[in-house]
Amino acid sequence: MLRRHSLLIFAFVIACAAAPAALAKTTINKINGDPSRYYDKKVTIEGTVTDSYGVLGEGAYELDDGTGRIWVVAERAVPARGSHVEAKGRIITGFVYRGRNLAAALRESGRKAKDRR
């Protein structure tokens, strides 16, 4: 019985140690520097909206985290320019927007407004 509890405690400690790594934010510079490494991977980025286009509740917005910029494809209303947001989703490559071929973009699966720091 003691051995089973020890194994459960060990598993819990390992799970807790791994959790912060899963929540870590990725810099846009790292994504743009090697888009194929991040292709179809879940990432979290945070930054300021520098440009946004939306129609009928869908659109795209450009996010700047201070290390670079990336377009975020949203299936809901886009945030206004100047908003500070955290976006989660999967990286897609070969994204074409407004006639420009962009190396990578984030297909958004979640977003929350953040306070400026």
- Domain boundaries, given as residue ranges, for the chain: 25-113
Report the pLDDT value the prediction gives residue 110, as an integer from 0 to 100. Answer: 93
Fold of 25-113: OB fold (Dihydrolipoamide Acetyltransferase, E2P) (2.40.50)
Please state, rounded to an integer, the average pLDDT across all residues of the chain: 82
- In this prediction, residue 20 has a pLDDT band, given cuts at 50, 70 and 90, of very low
Phi, psi values for residue 4, rounded to 5°: -65, -45
Report the pLDDT value the prediction gives residue 21, as an integer from 0 to 100. Answer: 46
| Share above pLDDT 90 across residues of the chain, in percent, rounded to a whole number | 54
Phi, psi values for residue 33, rounded to 5°: -70, -25
- Token pair 């020890």 in the structure block, residue: 6
Tell which wins on pLDDT, 57 or 61. Answer: 61
Separation of alpha carbons 44 and 65, rounded Å: 11
